[in-house]
Amino acid sequence: MEGPYHIGIDDTDSLTYGCTTYVAANIIEELIKEANFIDYPNLIRLNPNIPWKSRGNGAICLRFYSKKNEYELMDLVLKYVEEYRDKLDIKNQPGIVILKGDVPNIIKEFGKKALNDVITLDETISLLKKINTIYYGIKEGRGLIGALAAIGNTLEEDHTFELIVYRKNYNRKREVDIESVIKFDRETFPFTFNNIDYESGRLLITPHGTDPVLFGVRGEDPEILKISLKIIKFKDADKWVIYRTNQGTDAHFFEFKKIKSLKPYQVAIIKGIVSKKPVFIEGGHVIFSIADDSGEIDVACYEPSGNLRMIVMELMPGDKVIVYGGVRPLNNKITINLEKLEILELINEQYINPICPKCKKSMKSEGKNKGYECKKCKIKVKEKMKITIERKIKEGIYLPPPRSMRHLTKPPQRYGMEKRKWNGIVEEFFGKF
């Protein structure tokens, strides 16, 4: 046996057809006869703000020992990539990287950067040439970025698992019984997550397109996910694969930044003070501003964020918060698209113009440091008046509903359940129906 091999694959799917994990599932089906896997197949979600990403920005890494050499493996992978990729989609630019040996630190750092920043293809190719890899890119090969990043994300700390069931017939309507999914959700809570969005009643385990995925369930360990195969009622299944993944771990949120340093499409974590009152704008979105010692920026909480908008609307200038999100260019400036809000400190008193003791109306300022006067009653007061404000919200962490969470977003029930390391035990992760 030779190895260990690390094969990264990305961008074999498009927005309308195909699925990188399905390419992986077929490769696994062939490899599993002879290869010795040292990890579950890895499904790595990368920076979700990259606009040219494929759906969900997910890449795959397979790690194993094999009797095959790198070139035989490349032929095998390429055969399936060519078979299943969307050849009609010009945006689709698959990339395959094969690394033999241990993953060097420089690739791990590259993988980390791909979670919260923008990486160029030039940067990727110059790194690929420096290390001992063979690689293949179709068209410009933009998928090489994700393929190498997947190899670098070795999931040594927090991770979750996803069991994906693939179907035989892509064009048929999916038959997955919602009652049985509710039962699965109830029986496995809190060890599985995002099965159903109870706020809208939407099933979250099934995709909606014509792709080969029948459903996918996410959770803490492979055993709990296998329960889905017994409880959930479905038809037309072909095979299943369990992936080890960074989904639901907040892996992209690891670096605080200053407002002034933010660049489009980066992941942002900003600690600051609310500087402009939140307002509803057309489309049901909420916009407010925050400031830190380097500048000020708009934060947008979009309509799909559901009830999170109502929390945001209760913020007041002066509140201390941490906003987590993605940097989006909008009307010649940048805005943070809110993914998670942490309220650190709410103000509960405010200084307002004093009220006239006689007529009870707000007094007018006489100019800076000149005090206040009621013109009608001719009463003068020096200082602003301190009032106490009742707040309807509390300090804490607030998230959008499951239906609008990113794949990487850590759901509420996982707080406190984070894993410090992986036990390295690989059990059965592939099966046929």
- Residue placing its CB nearer to Zn ion in the complex, 15 or 377: 377
User: Nearest distance from residue 376's CB to Zn ion, in Å?
Assistant: 5
- Residue placing its CB nearer to Zn ion in the complex, 281 or 359: 359
Sign of CA dihedral 413, 404, 219, 159: negative
With 0-12 / 13-18 / 19 or more C-beta atoms within 10 angstroms meaning exposed / middle / buried, residue 104 is middle
- Indicate whether 251 belongs to the interface with Zn ion (CB under 5 A): no
Q: Give the binding range for Zn ion (CB under 5 A) out of 87-95, 236-244, 251-259, 370-378.
A: 370-378
User: Nearest distance from residue 383's CB to Zn ion, in Å?
Assistant: 17
- Residue placing its CB nearer to Zn ion in the complex, 277 or 376: 376
Write the CB contacts of 5 (distance below 8 Å, at least 6 apart in sequence).
Answer: 62, 63, 64, 65, 66, 70, 73, 98, 99, 100
**How many residues lie near Zn ion (CB under 5 A)?**
6
Strand partners, 288: 299
Strand partners, 59: 44
- Residue placing its CB nearer to Zn ion in the complex, 79 or 361: 361
Q: Give the binding range for Zn ion (CB under 5 A) out of 36-44, 230-238, 293-301, 358-366.
A: 358-366
- Residue placing its CB nearer to Zn ion in the complex, 378 or 420: 378
- Indicate whether 358 belongs to the interface with Zn ion (CB under 5 A): yes
- Residue placing its CB nearer to Zn ion in the complex, 209 or 371: 371
Whether the bond into 190 is cis, omega within 30 of 0: yes
User: Nearest distance from residue 194's CB to Zn ion, in Å?
Assistant: 58
Q: In angstroms, rounded to a whole number, what is the distance separating the alpha carbons of residues 102 and 34?
A: 21
Q: In angstroms, rounded to a whole number, what is the distance separating the alpha carbons of residues 121 and 119?
A: 7
Q: Which of 24, 98, 176, 356 binds Zn ion (CB under 5 A)?
A: 356
User: Nearest distance from residue 366's CB to Zn ion, in Å?
Assistant: 14
User: Nearest distance from residue 372's CB to Zn ion, in Å?
Assistant: 11
- Indicate whether 279 belongs to the interface with Zn ion (CB under 5 A): no
Q: In angstroms, rounded to a whole number, what is the distance separating the alpha carbons of residues 98 and 6?
A: 6
Q: In angstroms, rounded to a whole number, what is the distance separating the alpha carbons of residues 39 and 28?
A: 12
Are 380 and 372 a contacting pair, CB within 8 Å?
Answer: yes
Are 281 and 198 a contacting pair, CB within 8 Å?
Answer: no
- Residue placing its CB nearer to Zn ion in the complex, 357 or 396: 357
Q: Give the binding range for Zn ion (CB under 5 A) out of 92-100, 107-115, 359-367, 406-414.
A: 359-367
**Among residues 272, 308, 289, 324, which one has the least CA distance to residue 393?**
308
- Residue placing its CB nearer to Zn ion in the complex, 129 or 360: 360
Q: How many CB atoms lie under 10 A from the CB of residue 107?
A: 25
User: Nearest distance from residue 382's CB to Zn ion, in Å?
Assistant: 16
Are 289 and 275 a contacting pair, CB within 8 Å?
Answer: yes
- Residue placing its CB nearer to Zn ion in the complex, 364 or 376: 376
Residues within window 372-391 making contact with Zn ion, judged by CB under 5 A: 374, 376-377
User: Nearest distance from residue 385's CB to Zn ion, in Å?
Assistant: 14
Please report how many Cα atoms fall inside a 13 Å half-sphere around the Cα of residue 178, on the Cβ side: 7
Q: Which of 15, 359, 387, 389 binds Zn ion (CB under 5 A)?
A: 359
Q: In angstroms, rounded to a whole number, what is the distance separating the alpha carbons of residues 225 and 12?
A: 26
User: Nearest distance from residue 380's CB to Zn ion, in Å?
Assistant: 11
- Residue placing its CB nearer to Zn ion in the complex, 361 or 386: 361
Question: Mask 18-57, x = binds Zn ion (CB under 5 A)?
Answer: ----------------------------------------
Q: How many CB atoms lie under 10 A from the CB of residue 129?
A: 9
User: Nearest distance from residue 374's CB to Zn ion, in Å?
Assistant: 3
Sign of CA dihedral 24, 25, 26, 27: positive
Interface residues toward Zn ion, by CB under 5 A: 356, 358-359, 374, 376-377
